[in-house]
Amino acid sequence: MNLSKSKYCQAVQCKKILWLDKYKREVKEEIDNKSVLENGTNVGELAKRLFGKYVDIEYNSDLNKMISDTKEALKEKNTIITEASFVYDNNFCSVDILKKENDEYMMYEVKSSTHVSDIYLEDISYQYYVLTSLGMNVKKAFIIYINSDYVRNGDLELDKLFITKDVTEIVESKKREVEANIKETKEFLSNKSEPNIDIGSHCFSPYDCPFFKYCSRNLPEKNVFDLKGLNLNKKVEFYNNGIVSYEDLINSNLADKYKDVIDFELNGKKDKVNKKMIKNFLDTLSYPIYHLDFESYQEAIPSYDGIRPYMQIPFQYSLHIEDKNGNIEHKEFLASGTGDSRRELALKLINDIPKNSCILAYNMAFEKSIIKYLASLYDDLSEHLMNIYDNIRDLMIPFKNRDYYSKEMHGSYSIKYVLPALYPDDPDLDYHNLDMVHNGSEASDSYFKLSMLEGKELEELRENMLKYCELDTYAMVKVLEKLKDSIK
């Protein structure tokens, strides 16, 4: 079988993706295209419960088996089938949920997203094409997705958690387009010579393409696509106008702040330090300083009351407390991973941070949003939590304002760039030297594993999670130290 739902969607993004995947797979890069983590309860499984009793077509690597099982299930006059599988002219698809009423069908595509994106419409249009081409009387097509406004309160209310959107008119109107796309894709794939498709915004949307490095291999080493913060459409516009290299860009109408970044890199400029502004920032701090960093997880299906889908839920924090003599004390919290630990975390936090303290976070919007959320949950802790909220300062500010800038930051003020730029050769500040957990997404993945482990394995994972988060706030202590040194 030639095409599937996912392959068709890739072809919609760029047909060369499928061609390279077939003829030059060795140049493909690993890309994590998971936009949001889907942990805990599976969205697809839960959505099926909206329909009551159903027949499930079990996955089989032999797709013909799934197709014949579907045929068997469809002998019923009225039925609901999940993963109902079909093939038409070598185009295969499994429909998430198919409802049969007499000779009429309704199809449902389930998405764990909180909105209906264009690529989902392509996906279901392809399925509609396959089914209707087989002569099935598909009356309606729907996309079921997550309602981001839903807040859990007691048992899950599936009819409120999910939104069902009727997309019948859209899929009907796209049928010819799908047919033409499939035809064109098959022609592409049967041709052994590499298609002549240039890079552009399609390389990044709807998904980052794993062949971008290959397709952009002839660009200058430093080029417009490397510029941090510049809007993608702008990058493509420059590229299409032949303004590609850093040398081209510096003579273009690019905004000054980007030209500044290029100037630093092209001319190997020394660090820029605006002592006055850095001093102004440091003067807003008072000792002891509480360097704070949270780790959080997101889940599509809220496990506890007061949680919305994909909300950031804290499960861990690290706190370095620095006095005016440079003495440092470390405190931390890591949830057990079993049950709701939000209140336990909030209690420990107010115990660790007295009222009217000076608290530092790097990119404080995140820490503030977590604290505000906890304050909204617990009336009795709210006053103290909001006091912490009001006293947070942002260590990112001097870097965001470019009061301290070095060419190694490559135009970014994210701590991922700032830290190695300030401490290029310090193994104690290198996240690569950690075991198991190296970034926030690995930390949240690890959190979900805690409840499944025990004994030594559990201990080892917890220890590595703690080390990771500790490094986050230790890094802040060191970044602040650099700022203090810079004005001496």
Rounded least distance, CB 187 to ligand SF4, Å: 16
**CA 417, CA 409: separation in Å to the nearest integer?**
5
Shortest distance, CB of residue 400 to ligand SF4, whole angstroms? 31
Q: How far is the CB of 212 from ligand SF4 (least distance, A)?
A: 4
- What amino acid occupies position 77? K
The nearer residue to ligand SF4, 165 or 234, going by C-beta atoms, is: 234
DSSP string, 341-393: -HHHHHHHHHHHS-TT-EEEESSHHHHHHHHHHHHHH-HHHHHHHHHHHHTEE
Closest distance between ligand SF4 and the C-beta of residue 17, in Å?
Answer: 5
The kind and range of the H/E element at 80 are: strand 78-88
Nearer to ligand SF4, 197 or 328 (CB): 197
In terms of CB distance, is 202 or 259 closer to ligand SF4? 202
Between 10 and 70, name the residue whose CB sits nearer to ligand SF4: 10
Cβ 209 to ligand SF4, closest distance in Å?
3
| Residue partners of 203: CB distance under 8 A and separation at least 6 | 14, 209, 212, 215
Compute the distance between CA of residue 385 and CA of residue 157 in angstroms, rounded to an integer: 31
Question: CA-CA distance, 9 to 21, in Å (whole number)?
Answer: 14
CA distances to 152, 334, 340, 371 from 305, in Å = 5, 21, 10, 17
Minimum gap (Å) between residue 225 Cβ and ligand SF4: 11
Nearer to ligand SF4 by C-beta: 88 or 188? 188
Work out how close the CB of 170 gets to ligand SF4 at its nearest, in angstroms, rounded to a whole number. 24
User: What are the start-end ranges of the E strands in 236-382?
Assistant: 272-273, 289-297, 313-322, 328-334, 358-361
| Cβ–Cβ under 8 Å, residues 437 and 443 | yes
Positions that interact with ligand SF4 (CB under 6 A): 14, 16-17, 20, 197, 199, 202-203, 209, 211-212, 215
17 or 483, CB closer to ligand SF4? 17
Amino acid identity for residue 315 in this structure: F
Q: How far apart are CA 307 and CA 330, in angstroms?
A: 30
In the bound state with ligand SF4, the residue whose beta carbon lies nearer, of 220 and 424, is: 220
The b-or-e profile of 435-449 (16+ CB within 10 A means b, else e) is eebbebebbbebbee
Q: What per-residue string of b and e applies to 301-321 under the rule 16 or more CB within 10 Å gives b?
A: bbeeebbbbbbebbbbbbbbb
Given the complex with ligand SF4, which of 7 and 100 has the nearer CB atom? 7
Q: Answer whether 272's CB lies under 8 Å from 409's CB.
A: no
Smallest distance from ligand SF4 to CB 33, Å: 13
Which residue's CB is nearer to ligand SF4, number 45 or number 184? 184
Match 């994210």 to its residue by tokens.
Answer: 414
Give least dist CB 204 to ligand SF4, A.
8
